[in-house]
A and B are shown apart, each in its own frame.
Chain A
Amino acid sequence: MRMTPAVILVGILSLLAAITLTVVYWPYSTIDRTPSDIFRQRTVVEAAGRKIYLENGCVYCHSQSIRAFDWGHGADRIAQAGDYIADEPIALGSQRTGVDLSQEGGEHPDDWHIAHFINPRYTRPSSIMPPFEWLGMARIDTLTQYIQSLGFKNADIRMERQRYWKNESIKAYEAGPDANAKWLAEIVPEGWRNLPNPYPTTKASLQRGHVIYQKFCIGCHGPIGDGMGPAQPWIYPPPLNFTLLKGREISGGIIYYQLMNGITGTAMPYFKRDLESQKIWEVGDYIAVYFINQSDANQDPRGIDAAWEP
């Protein structure tokens, strides 16, 4: 084959045209643009927040697309083409240096996000996300509204729930420590409330609990458990001062349940995904022993001792 300029030019350009038609134009013209069940249009503020998201390269660390085999953030709704019909540009992301955000709306209340944007280490001590305090409060608010809309109608339902419980938690907090502790215990289902920590306190378990506390809780509850971690100024109701719980019959079961499930409406997140059962019991016992100064570990009723217990 003799490669003349004409052969090269005509050859490459017609190939490119043909291939572009097949793999770009054809899908473009045949794709289904029906909205998915959760889709809704964004408000003006949410759209402005999305712009801040794009300008600051959040997309290089955060995907917005859940796969069938994911476990972490947002894993309960697998992405559908109809979720993206208003996205220009689409912000799928190609890397997860941070978590997937496609269902982030309502995952936390606004105050958690604001503290997190000011400095991610405040709410997530081992985070490597850069701080965004320089955006200033106005833009952080706008950005937060966008984040709270991720997941569309599902996000709206979650936000509704967050707002309802935010009101309840503020009422309880403002009614004083007694009322707050009572409220905190009462939102835990009956069965859990009467459940002591079934495992014994050991030196090793306290040490493990300490490590977990450092990596997950210290930014809010503070190094001495008084609720004065660096996130405290941005969070309301503020992180709990554990010493207030002394003498209020807080069972291991209450602490376990609150850690597992979080306290919706407050900044207190759920740790069910991050921590396995043993870790939740042990960090719970750690705060009970060191900060509340009162632990019901290994008290009756505790069932049969597990095989590994000393």
Chain B
Amino acid sequence: MDRMEESLQNNNPTAKAFTLTSAAWFALATSFGMIAAGYLIAPDFMANIEFIHFGRARPMHVNAVLFGFVTPGLLAAAFYFIPRLLRTELYSHKLGVFNAIFWNITVLSGMIGISFGYTQGREYAELPWPVDIMVVISFTLVVINLLLTVRNRVEPILYVSIWYGMAAVILTACTYCIGNVIWKPDTGALVGIPDAILLWFYGHNIFGLLLTPLALAAAYYVLPIETRSPLYSHTLSLIGFWSLIVVYTHIGTHHLLQVPVPTWLKTISIVDSIAMVIPVMVVLINLWLTVKGKLGAIHASIPAKFIFTGTIFYFFVNIQGSMMALPVVQRITHFNNWVVGHAHIGVFGFAGVTALGALYFILPRITNKPLYSKFLADLQYWLVLIGITGFAIVLTIVGLIQGNAWYNGETLYRTLPEIQPYYVLRASLGAFIMIGAYLGLYNIIRTLYFNRGAST
């Protein structure tokens, strides 16, 4: 190993800063989730507290998981593997660390803003205009830092993780501006039905052009290394990448199938939602064939275990999502907890769990010491797995109860007592996830700063 690669390993303050960001917001975000879940069980328990009532805690939860936990977690990994794959130093660690600090200020301002009622009231685009600008700056800084790293590279060939990583941050910087109607600071919205179309174009791109490619980038990097297997196919990587960009961007309107939007747009979104099987299955086949016969190695490695689990949830969320885009299915599943189940399987089971795996992968490598506690990481894996699997089951059941009852003409009010026990179950399972998040935070802080373990 030459001197430069040595320094690449030793010192990656940018990746460290984003790792800590992610772990801390994971803990906070699940706490907000627990508050929201608590309100759905006992709305009078924390009655009349303006700053955390359900209508505020919910967007705080969602924005904190998206922009505080999952994205920074996957970016931490990207800030580690992109320089390594290019065999060059990150363009600027000063910029990187500043970026992470600014990122935290941004997310924190967003949280405080929402809790005081400064919200644009559009799902996934709640953040008020000044915070929108800060988000765009944050993404732009990431883009600049990574692009300049690419320009300085020693390695001429760009590995598939780099395609996904670059595409995610560049495209999100664009779609974030468009989706938040950044040129209209007062409302941050268009008027009428076009606003809904734009909102869901953007909203779905948060999953499709940010979380998914960043998570796949991490999976493409970590799985071959941890199983010591070469990537199965370059052609499949290519098909998976380009079809993701083309297909995922077309499907936003599947959130609006039951609303008066133009029929041709609904048709496109349904067809492409089914076609999502291509980018998803191509990638999964590529990854799964790469690790074929190596389940033992996956089981033995904490990061690979998380990330392989993430790919399984990716499979489920795709099959489920394509089904939900069929109008006959959506008649039952829309408007109820089925979708919340899907959202948790996708954003947490796939992207979030992959982010956790990626963090555990880079931690020993950026600190040059083994993880503070493998046991805690393993425990977190099981807590998270039980929690998210339970979420998927419980929320799907509630969704079916609600959806079928409404379809049969039972009023919403009559279904409230029926779904109460499931809300209790959801909160209990949430406790597993939240405990997992705090254990992870502890483990990561110990690993980063107070790790007396021998250095490797």
Binding site for B on A (CB under 8 A): 1, 3-5, 8-9, 11-13, 15-16, 19-20, 23-24, 27-28, 30-31, 33, 53-61, 63, 65, 67, 69-73, 79-81, 84-92, 94-99, 119-121, 124, 126-134, 215, 273-274
A86 B191 Cβ-Cβ under 8 A: yes
User: Quick one: which of A13, A73, A88, A134 contacts B191, CB cutoff 8 A?
Assistant: A88
A60 B336 Cβ-Cβ under 8 A: no
Given the interface contacts A127-B416, A215-B417, does A79 sit within 8 Å of B197 by beta carbon? no
Q: Which stretch (B69-77, B246-254, B346-354) binds chain A?
A: B246-254
Interface string of B207-250 (1 = CB under 8 A from A): 00000000000000000000000000000001000100110011
Given the interface contacts A8-B166, A81-B260, does A55 sit within 8 Å of B201 by beta carbon? no
Residues of A within 8 A of B416 (CB): 126-128
B197 A55 Cβ-Cβ under 8 A: no
Determine whether B88 belongs to the interface, using a CB cutoff of 8 Å to chain A. Answer: no
B121 A12 Cβ-Cβ under 8 A: no
Determine whether B43 belongs to the interface, using a CB cutoff of 8 Å to chain A. Answer: yes
Binding site for A on B (CB under 8 A): 39-41, 43-44, 47-50, 53-56, 58-59, 117-123, 147, 150-151, 158, 160, 163, 166-167, 170-171, 174-175, 178, 187-199, 201, 238, 242, 245-246, 249-250, 252-253, 255-256, 258-262, 265, 268-269, 331, 335-336, 339-340, 402, 406-407, 409-414, 416-417, 420, 423
Closest CB of chain A to B213's CB: distance in Å?
10
List the 5 closest pairs (A to B, CB-CB), nearest first. A57-B55, A54-B121, A89-B189, A55-B117, A134-B48
A133 B197 Cβ-Cβ under 8 A: no
Considering the chains assembled together, what is the distance between the CA atoms of A96 and B191 in angstroms?
23
Could you tell me the dominant secondary structure of chain A's interface residues?
Answer: loop
B171 A86 Cβ-Cβ under 8 A: no
A5: nearest residue on chain B (CB-CB)? B150
A56 B335 Cβ-Cβ under 8 A: no
A88 B163 Cβ-Cβ under 8 A: no
- Residue pairs across A and B with Cβ atoms less than 8 A apart, 9 shown, are A3-B238, A24-B194, A28-B194, A30-B262, A57-B119, A58-B55, A60-B55, A69-B407, A95-B339
Closest CB of chain B to A239's CB: distance in Å?
18
Considering the chains assembled together, what is the distance between the CA atoms of A99 and B117 in angstroms?
23
User: Quick one: which of B59, B147, B158 contacts A3, CB cutoff 8 A?
Assistant: B158
Given the interface contacts A23-B253, A54-B119, does A87 sit within 8 Å of B339 by beta carbon? no
Residues of B within 8 A of A67 (CB): 258
User: Quick one: which of B158, B167, B197, B340 contacts A27, CB cutoff 8 A?
Assistant: B197
A71 B406 Cβ-Cβ under 8 A: yes
Residues of B within 8 A of A65 (CB): 258-259
Residues of B within 8 A of A86 (CB): 191-192
A130 B199 Cβ-Cβ under 8 A: no
Considering the chains assembled together, what is the distance between the CA atoms of A56 and B51 in angstroms?
10
Closest CB of chain B to A84's CB: distance in Å?
4
B48 A28 Cβ-Cβ under 8 A: no
Considering the chains assembled together, what is the distance between the CA atoms of A58 and B119 in angstroms?
12
User: Quick one: which of A71, A79, A89, A133 contacts B188, CB cutoff 8 A?
Assistant: A89
Given the interface contacts A27-B262, A126-B413, A274-B414, does A9 sit within 8 Å of B170 by beta carbon? yes
A61 B158 Cβ-Cβ under 8 A: no
Considering the chains assembled together, what is the distance between the CA atoms of A56 and B39 in angstroms?
14
B252: nearest residue on chain A (CB-CB)? A23
Closest CB of chain A to B245's CB: distance in Å?
5
A67: nearest residue on chain B (CB-CB)? B258
A87: nearest residue on chain B (CB-CB)? B192
Considering the chains assembled together, what is the distance between the CA atoms of A28 and B252 in angstroms?
14
Considering the chains assembled together, what is the distance between the CA atoms of A23 and B194 in angstroms?
10
Considering the chains assembled together, what is the distance between the CA atoms of A131 and B423 in angstroms?
19
B53: nearest residue on chain A (CB-CB)? A130
A55 B121 Cβ-Cβ under 8 A: yes
B198 A59 Cβ-Cβ under 8 A: no
A12: nearest residue on chain B (CB-CB)? B167
B411 A71 Cβ-Cβ under 8 A: yes
A81 B193 Cβ-Cβ under 8 A: yes
A84: nearest residue on chain B (CB-CB)? B192
Residues of B within 8 A of A13 (CB): 170-171, 174
Given the interface contacts A57-B58, A72-B411, A80-B260, does A23 sit within 8 Å of B265 by beta carbon? yes
Known contacts A13-B171, A81-B193, A128-B41; 18 further A-B pairs (Cβ under 8 A): A3-B160, A11-B242, A24-B201, A31-B262, A55-B121, A56-B55, A60-B55, A61-B55, A69-B331, A86-B191, A92-B196, A95-B340, A121-B44, A126-B417, A128-B423, A130-B53, A130-B54, A131-B48
A23 B250 Cβ-Cβ under 8 A: yes
A130 B406 Cβ-Cβ under 8 A: no
A90 B192 Cβ-Cβ under 8 A: yes
Considering the chains assembled together, what is the distance between the CA atoms of A65 and B261 in angstroms?
12
Residues of B within 8 A of A33 (CB): 192
B122 A5 Cβ-Cβ under 8 A: no
B158 A8 Cβ-Cβ under 8 A: yes
B120 A89 Cβ-Cβ under 8 A: yes
Given the interface contacts A54-B119, A134-B48, does A24 sit within 8 Å of B412 by beta carbon? no
Considering the chains assembled together, what is the distance between the CA atoms of A61 and B412 in angstroms?
12
A85: nearest residue on chain B (CB-CB)? B192
Closest CB of chain B to A118's CB: distance in Å?
10
B260 A24 Cβ-Cβ under 8 A: no
Residues of A within 8 A of B409 (CB): 71
Closest CB of chain B to A268's CB: distance in Å?
16
Considering the chains assembled together, what is the distance between the CA atoms of A87 and B194 in angstroms?
10
User: Quick one: which of A8, A19, A61, A274 contacts B167, CB cutoff 8 A?
Assistant: A8
A12 B255 Cβ-Cβ under 8 A: no
Considering the chains assembled together, what is the distance between the CA atoms of A81 and B245 in angstroms?
30
B268 A60 Cβ-Cβ under 8 A: no
A79 B43 Cβ-Cβ under 8 A: no
User: Quick one: which of A57, A129, A274 contacts B43, CB cutoff 8 A?
Assistant: A129
A20 B178 Cβ-Cβ under 8 A: yes
Considering the chains assembled together, what is the distance between the CA atoms of A107 and B295 in angstroms?
60
A94 B198 Cβ-Cβ under 8 A: no
Considering the chains assembled together, what is the distance between the CA atoms of A128 and B410 in angstroms?
17
B414 A87 Cβ-Cβ under 8 A: no
Given the interface contacts A27-B265, A60-B55, A81-B192, does A274 sit within 8 Å of B411 by beta carbon? yes
A94 B339 Cβ-Cβ under 8 A: yes
User: Quick one: which of A61, A84, A97, A134 contacts B193, CB cutoff 8 A?
Assistant: A84
